[in-house]
Amino acid sequence: MNWLAEFFGDAANWSGPDGIPVRLLEHLEFSAISLLLAALVAVPLGLGIGHTGRGALPVLLSANAARALPTLGLLVLIVLLMGVGTDVPVLIPLVALAVPPILVNTYEGIRGVDPDLRDAAYGMGLRGRQVLGRVLVPVALPLILLGLRVAAIQVVSTATVAAYVGLGGLGRFIVDGLATKDFPRTLGGAVLVALLALAVQLVFTLVQRLVVSPGVSGSRAVR
């Protein structure tokens, strides 16, 4: 506790380019861009293969294989190939990390919709994208949001690796603190990352309560 008080009580840690606000914004930038890019890839793909069933096996196998990629190793490789002039080196492995949970949960959410509900939608005259947008997505929304939440927490937690190749973010406190044996700084950085991950979880929980119908939540929870 003394180390935390020393870190958070030091005014120097709250100002300047190495201060907590700047590092937090850098971390959020890495994480938000990575999650957005992953969602733009994984959500439409998951909706498509979940609705049509076409190409599901190779896509899902590729997504699960991506889980085995070592994020730090991939980051170092990309830095060696591209350099560190931009944030791209850290975005690529973070996107690769975020795609699998979003893709798999979106696919499972769509495929898990009651077939009778799907048939009823077609029986009412809805077709193709109308069934997907008006019936399947609203029912699958809890699982889709779960995939986004898992991906967001993983990205926020893993974005600390950016500091290992000289980039910013909250990981700078951890890496720099270890390098200089400044343990209050290291512990403070770790606590900040943990608090940010908890905040992300809370945000997604609130979003789910706002956008998901209580009836849908209840029916999905029983499954």
> How far is the C-alpha of 141 from the C-alpha of 125, rounded, in Å?
23
* pLDDT for the residue numbered 126: 76
Quote the mean pLDDT of the chain. Answer: 85
Q: Report domain extents, the chain.
A: 2-218
| Residue 223 pLDDT | 37
Q: Give the Cα separation of 163 and 98 in Å (integer).
A: 19
Tell me the whole-structure pTM to 2 decimals.
0.87
Nearest-CA neighbor of 174 among 14, 91, 182?
A: 182
| DSSP 8-state code for residue 133 | I
For the chain, list residues with pLDDT below 70: 1, 72, 83-85, 215-223
**What is the rounded (10 degree) CA torsion for 44, 46, 50, 53?**
90
pLDDT at 1: 64
What percent of the chain is helix, strand and coil (3-state, nearest 5)?
Answer: 85, 0, 15
Q: Are 80 and 165 in contact (CB under 8 A)?
A: no
pLDDT at 216: 67
**C-alpha radius of gyration, the chain, whole number:** 21
| Domain 2-218, CATH | 1.10.3720.10
Query: Rounded to a whole number, what is the distance in angstroms from the first to the last CA of the chain?
Result: 44
Instruction: Determine the pLDDT at residue 170.
Output: 93
Q: Which two tokens stand for residue 74?
A: 């991939």
pLDDT for res 53: 79
